[in-house]
């Protein structure tokens, strides 16, 4: 590269870093300023800040390598068992998206465009630092990004079947054994019965605190805003599971106090919204923030970067080494409501469950432009929710701020519609109380 080209590249990199860090800092500031947060949020903000604003690698014990993962099908237990730390690299970054837009197919989803943008610039330590990336092939976008990532990093793909028959699970078990060998090769550590059990322990602890968090949210309505809950869940991508679990334990403690003092985030009965559809990845948190600015509250989240990402525990019915690997394969496929599976009736079941448990009054169906698998499922879900009398709105968006005003108008109208729907119900309840 000649000196002029070097200088041009340097200027481009500086511009990229400035835009990227400013955008992430702005969304973090908005999350921090949103009223009603429980005590104990700072470790989660700091984890997001470290990756997206300070541009540092994931914090971890000295000597541990990081393994990049995508989607919910790569078992973190196996990565911990190899002495490494998993970091989930699905991205919501607008600046990286604008670079990736010129790299991958025009109609690819923004999530993989952002991943491509970070890979292209080499400016994101969380990506550049990985000893291995594990990419479950769930959709065409993930398949093609795996090929692109392999230009600069060691990549292993995991074939995710379209169905969950026994034969599919068996195939996935075989793939996990191959992954195990690959992890041993890149980390230089052998995965033993003991280290695998410790991996289960680490993730199990985080899942226990998450189940407690979910239980507390059900105990008192309006206990926490969904935007804060989503910041907690997004930070899980960049924190070791035990560190994240401990931080969530402190938030749970603060939530218990709030319940004891009957201290909700609002005294008003704000419309309770469930967010479902394509992943909502930091810093692309514009939709939950818009809902809360428009006078609603995100009371439930069924996206894969939210509670769904860690909800299902691996159930061990046979405590041999093979039994534990089988538990991981089963957990990755059987309960997963990702739309990459052909038959996804379990997503409808899960949505109905969340609607009931969180007393949801309206559903926002988020579709990232180009995310066909979620778009396909919209019609069926709209019909199912319609039969329950739950209003649903499909919001398509991209990784930029150009659509914010249009989204705001639609979200405000949706919230107003729910309020209008509530008004006669309130009147009927008042009549009944006479």
Q: How far is the CB of 118 from ligand SF4 (least distance, A)?
A: 15
Q: How far is the CB of 397 from ligand SF4 (least distance, A)?
A: 12
Give 325 or 371: the residue with its C-beta nearer to ligand SF4: 371
Q: How far is the CB of 54 from ligand SF4 (least distance, A)?
A: 26
Q: How far is the CB of 88 from ligand SF4 (least distance, A)?
A: 10
Q: How far is the CB of 4 from ligand SF4 (least distance, A)?
A: 37
Q: How far is the CB of 368 from ligand SF4 (least distance, A)?
A: 5
Give 71 or 265: the residue with its C-beta nearer to ligand SF4: 71
Q: Are the beta carbons of 325 and 177 closer than 8 angstroms? A: yes
Q: How far is the CB of 70 from ligand SF4 (least distance, A)?
A: 7
Give 134 or 373: the residue with its C-beta nearer to ligand SF4: 373
Q: How far is the CB of 374 from ligand SF4 (least distance, A)?
A: 6
Give 207 or 278: the residue with its C-beta nearer to ligand SF4: 278
Phi and psi (nearest 5°) for 363? -120, 130
Give 37 or 231: the residue with its C-beta nearer to ligand SF4: 231
Give 169 or 220: the residue with its C-beta nearer to ligand SF4: 169
3-state secondary structure the chain: CCHHHHHHHHHHHHHHHHHHHHHHHHHHHHHHHCCCCCCCCHHHHHHHHHHHCCCCCCCCCCCCCEEEECCCCCCHHHHHHCCCEEEECCCCCHHHHHHHCCCCCCCCCHHHHHHHHHHHHCCCHHHHCEEEEEEEECCHHHHHHHHHHCCCCCEEEEECCCCCCHHHHHHHHHHHHHHHHHHHHHHCCCCCHHHHHHHHHHHHHHHHHHHHHHHHHHHCCCCCCHHHHHHHHHHHHHCCHHHHHHHHHHHHHHHHHHHHCCCCCCCCCCCEEEEEECCCCCCCCHHHHHHHHCCCEEEEECCCCCCHHHHCCCCCCCCCHHHHHHHHHHHHHCCCCCCCCCCCHHHHHHHHHHHHHCCCCEEEEEEECCCHHHHHHHHHHHHHHHHCCCCEEEEEECCCCCCHHHHHHHHHHHHHHHHHHHHHHHHHHHHHHC
Within 10 angstroms of residue 365's Cβ, the number of other Cβ atoms is 23
Binding site for ligand SF4 (CB under 6 A): 71-72, 90, 109, 111-112, 138-139, 141-142, 278-279, 304, 338, 340, 368, 371, 373-374
Give 256 or 350: the residue with its C-beta nearer to ligand SF4: 350
Q: How far is the CB of 120 from ligand SF4 (least distance, A)?
A: 17
Give 369 or 419: the residue with its C-beta nearer to ligand SF4: 369
Give 72 or 206: the residue with its C-beta nearer to ligand SF4: 72
């Amino acid at each position: 590269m000649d000196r002029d080209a070097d200088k041009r590249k340097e200027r481009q990199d500086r511009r990229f870093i400035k835009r990227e860090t400013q955008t992430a800092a702005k969304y973090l500031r908005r999350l921090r300023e949103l009223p009603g947060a429980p005590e104990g949020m700072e470790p989660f903000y700091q984890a997001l800040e470290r990756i997206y604003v300070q541009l540092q690698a994931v914090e971890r014990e000295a000597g541990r390598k990081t393994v990049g993962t995508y989607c919910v099908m790569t078992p973190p237990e196996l990565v911990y068992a190899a002495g490494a730390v998993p970091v989930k690299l699905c991205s919501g970054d607008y600046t990286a998206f604008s670079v990736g837009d010129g790299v991958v197919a025009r109609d690819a989803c923004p999530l993989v465009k952002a991943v491509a943008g970070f890979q292209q610039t080499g400016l994101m330590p969380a990506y550049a630092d990985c000893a291995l990336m594990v990419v479950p092939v769930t959709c065409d976008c993930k398949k093609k990004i795996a090929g692109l990532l392999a230009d600069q990093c060691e990549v292993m793909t995991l074939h995710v079947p379209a169905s969950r028959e026994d034969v599919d699970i068996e195939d996935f078990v075989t793939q996990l054994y191959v992954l195990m060998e690959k992890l041993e090769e890149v980390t230089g550590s052998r995965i033993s019965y003991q280290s695998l059990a410790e991996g289960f322990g680490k993730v199990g602890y985080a899942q226990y605190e998450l189940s407690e968090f979910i239980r507390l949210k059900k105990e008192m309505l309006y206990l926490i805003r969904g935007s804060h809950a989503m910041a907690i869940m997004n930070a899980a991508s960049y924190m070791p599971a035990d560190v994240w679990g401990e931080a969530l334990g402190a938030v749970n403690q603060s939530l218990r106090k709030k319940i004891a003092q009957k201290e909700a985030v609002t005294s008003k009965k704000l419309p309770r919204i469930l967010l479902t559809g394509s992943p909502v990845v930091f810093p692309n948190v514009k939709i939950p923030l818009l809902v809360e600015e428009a006078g609603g509250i995100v009371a439930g989240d069924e996206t894969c970067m939210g509670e769904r990402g860690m909800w299902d525990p691996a159930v061990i019915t046979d405590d041999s080494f093979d039994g534990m690997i089988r538990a991981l394969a089963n957990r990755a496929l059987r309960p997963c409501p990702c739309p990459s599976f052909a038959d996804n009736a379990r997503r409808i079941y899960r949505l109905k469950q969340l609607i009931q448990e969180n007393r949801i009054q309206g559903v926002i169906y988020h579709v990232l432009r180009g995310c066909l698998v979620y778009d396909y499922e919209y019609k069926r879900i709209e019909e199912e929710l319609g039969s329950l009398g739950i209003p649903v709105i499909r919001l398509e968006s991209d990784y930029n701020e150009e659509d914010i005003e249009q989204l705001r108008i639609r979200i405000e109208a949706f919230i107003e519609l729910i309020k209008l729907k509530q008004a006669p119900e309130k009147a009927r309840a008042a009549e009944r109380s006479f």
